Amino acid sequence: MNVFDDTRIAKSIEWLKDQVNDAGAKGLVVGISGGIDSAVVANLIKRAYPDNSMGLILPISSQQKDVIDGIAVAEAASLQYQIIDFSEIHRTMINKVTDVLQKTGPVTEHYQKISDANLRARLRMSTIYAVANAMNYLVVGTDNAAEVYTGYFTKYGDGGVDLLPIAGLLKSEVYRWAEELGVPKQIIERAPSAGLWEGQTDEDEMGVTYEIIDQFLEGKMIPEKEKMIIQSMHEKTRHKRQMPPMPEW
Ligand SMILES: Nc1ncnc2c1ncn2[C@@H]1O[C@H](COP(=O)(O)OP(=O)(O)OC[C@H]2O[C@@H]([n+]3cccc(C(=O)O)c3)[C@H](O)[C@@H]2O)[C@@H](O)[C@H]1O
Ligand SMILES: Nc1ncnc2c1ncn2[C@@H]1O[C@H](COP(=O)(O)OP(=O)(O)OP(=O)(O)O)[C@@H](O)[C@H]1O
Ligand SMILES: [Mg+2]
């Protein structure tokens, strides 16, 4: 194991314990998607709280592969996990909202898709908090530095969490930690995806690769076109990294 990252991993585990102690909580819970970010976090919470940590696999009309990979992550980490499927609830909610909206006027396909996608992330957030409330656990988020900077997350969805232990990591560092923590190869080799619609990949949707975002965050020179994309995403999502605006009086 690389000594530098070993130290950083150990520090992040200690940091998680400090956060739980300071909050008077008992443990930690994370949503496990079958992707690499949640795989790393699953391993960190298991190491911080071997007996008081939980992974939740929350398929919503998801591909079977996500569930299989989610189970592989939890089992490789020896993390206790539960599977809760809200496909039907999601379908009911989105159909009802669509019915109501159609009465008020046309909704474009694009906005319909984003609304459907973000509702999945928010249903997962509500479920994870229901467990956290019941167990006196804190909710652990999985955003890395690239996602925080670009705001590539759903506000109050996967962005609705108590702690962000890997928010300081470049995506390349997430890969390094995953290898050091023993995350299964099949997870490390998957293309990063929010899994919010069929065939979605982060890099296709953003129009920029994680490699380039990492280079930008490291202060390296990157092509002007990509720089504009990253800076525009950062500006448009400023509201997601702040408390809601309040009047001054
Ligand atoms: N200036 C402003 N001040 C205050 N609030 C503002 C605002 N602009 C928009 N808003 C609010 O924010 C909403 C838009 O934000 P939001 O609901 O988050 O939606 P939005 O940013 O449009 O979509 C979320 C994006 O994150 C991606 N995502 C989501 C989940 C997971 C992952 C992943 O990597 O796994 C990626 C997803 O694919 C999509 O591209 C608006 O509907 C509005 O309510
Ligand atoms: N099916 C799911 N079950 C449980 N949690 C999920 C599910 N899908 C998404 N999440 C939660 O939302 C987070 C955000 O997803 P994101 O795609 O950014 O991370 P990831 O899937 O872990 O890694 P990658 O970016 O490589 O796909 C996940 O890390 C996980 O905590
Ligand atoms: Mg993913």
Whether the predicted pLDDT of 107 surpasses 90: no
Whether the predicted pLDDT of 198 surpasses 90: no
Whether the predicted pLDDT of 3 surpasses 70: no
SS (H, E, C) 137-179: EEEECCCCHHHHHHCCCCCCCCCCCCECCCCCCCHHHHHHHHH
Tokens of 165: 């232990």
Q: Can you spell out the DSSP letters for 97-115?
A: HHHHHHHHS---HHHHHHH
pTM listed for this prediction: 0.97
Single-letter code of the amino acid located at 197: W
Mutation test residue for ligand 1: of 36, 60, 148, 239, the one with most atoms within 8 Å of CB: 239
- What is the pLDDT of the chain when averaged over all its residues? 96
202 is in an annotated binding site: no
What CA–CA distance (Å, rounded) separates 145 from 217? 8
Q: Whose CA is nearest to atom 3 of ligand 2?
A: 58
Whether the predicted pLDDT of 1 surpasses 60: no
ipTM of the complex: 0.98
Q: Whose CA is nearest to atom 31 of ligand 2?
A: 31
Tokens of 203: 């890099």
196 CA distance to ligand 2 centroid (A)?
Answer: 10
239 is in an annotated binding site: yes
Residue 71 banded pLDDT, cuts 50, 70, 90: very high
Task: Tell me if 157 CB under 6 Å of ligand 2.
Answer: no
Helices 87-104 + 109-135 axis angle, to 10: 140
Whether the predicted pLDDT of 111 surpasses 90: no
| Secondary element (H or E) of residue 241 | none
Query: Averaged over 207-226, what is the pLDDT?
Result: 98
At residue 171, the pLDDT reads 98
10 Å CB burial of residue 244 (0-12, 13-18, 19+) is exposed
At residue 228, the pLDDT reads 98
Task: Tell me if 196 CB under 6 Å of ligand 1.
Answer: yes
Query: Averaged over 38-47, what is the pLDDT?
Result: 98
* Domains of the chain, earliest start first: 3-241 (3.40.50.620)
At residue 157, the pLDDT reads 98
Query: Averaged over 25-42, what is the pLDDT?
Result: 98
Shortest-distance ligand to the CA of residue 64: 2
Q: Which residues contact 58 (CB under 8 A, 6 or more apart)?
A: 31, 83, 84, 85, 86, 123, 124, 127, 128
At residue 196, the pLDDT reads 84
